Amino acid sequence: MRRLRRSALPADTVELARYLIGKTLVHETSEGRTSGRIVETEAYIVGDAAGHAFRGQTARNRSLFLRRGHAYVYFIYGVSYLLNVSSEQAGVGAGVLLRALEPLQGIELMQQRRGTLRLQDLARGPGRLTIAMGVGIGDDGADLCSRGPLWLGTPARATGEVGVSVRIGITKEADRLLRFFERDNRYVSGTLRLNRIR
């Protein structure tokens, strides 16, 4: 498993969201290494009313405006941290939300962090994903394509068919088909109906 170069990342938000399915997310901390296959993403594109960059750059969302391949981490509902990958050129605000992982390495550590043994629940859902991976607000702005502790890696195995659906949990722009997932993967979140869609 090797680090993905920035030049390998598609320079378009939707293409990147699809591209990241099957790739790996790795985090190395003092507790150990955790990694997982990315099995579900959502694109938050330029001009998207549901995107955090829609009203321009602020202190909170500035990482979304970094060139592609940087982490944007934010706190939501007073409960969860969510991880995005910035997706456009510097100064343009857009990103890809990582919604679910299939655990690969450090499963015991993930179980400890999540307080459950169920593999299927370790990183199914964007808030659970960050807990399992030990990702927090301190990782906001991290470059995922440099030699840092948090990085994107090449696929651990072949990627299955990629499905498309509407995004989950939003009210604005709710009918856009900007959610991507590996079909028939049990670590994907969402309802059966959503995940049947091609």
Partner DNA sequence: AGTGCGATTGACT
Partner DNA sequence: GTCAATCGCACTA
The site string for DNA over 59-78 (x = CB under 7 A, - otherwise) reads xxx--x-------x--xxxx
Residue 3 and residue 23 in contact, taking contact as beta carbons nearer than 8 Å: no
CB atoms within 10 A of CB 146: 12
For residues 29 to 58, the per-residue mask of contacts with DNA, x marking binding by CB under 7 A and - elsewhere, is -------------x-x-----xxxx-x--x
Q: Nearer to DNA by C-beta: 1 or 136?
A: 136
Write the binding mask 83 to 102 for DNA: x where contact by CB under 7 A, - elsewhere.
Answer: -x----------x-x-----
Residue choice 32, 121, 162, 197 for contact with DNA (CB under 7 A): 121
Q: Measured from the CB atom, is 4 or 188 closer to DNA? A: 188
* Calpha distance 179→167 (Å, rounded): 5
Interacting stretch for DNA, rule CB under 7 A, among 18-26, 32-40, 105-113, 165-173? 165-173
Q: Is 105 in the site for DNA (CB under 7 A)?
A: no
Q: Beta 95-105 vs 32-44: how paired, if at all?
A: antiparallel
For the stretch 106-114, contacts whose Cβ atoms lie closer than 8 Å and that sit 24 or more positions apart, written own/partner, are: 106/32, 106/33, 106/34, 106/35, 109/31, 109/32, 109/34, 109/134, 110/34
Window of 7-15, 19-27, 149-157, 164-172 that interacts with DNA by CB under 7 A:
164-172
Please check whether residue 111 is in contact with residue 120, taking contact to mean a CB–CB distance below 8 angstroms: no
Q: Does 134 bind DNA (CB under 7 A)?
A: no
Distance CA 128, CA 55 (A): 27
- The least CB distance from residue 198 to DNA, in Å, is 21
Element (H, E) at 74: strand 71-76
- How far does CA 89 lie from the centroid of its chain? 18
Q: Is 175 in the site for DNA (CB under 7 A)?
A: no
**Residues in contact with DNA by the rule CB under 7 A:** 42, 44, 50-53, 55, 58-61, 64, 72, 75-80, 82, 84, 95, 97, 114, 121, 125-129, 167-172, 189, 191
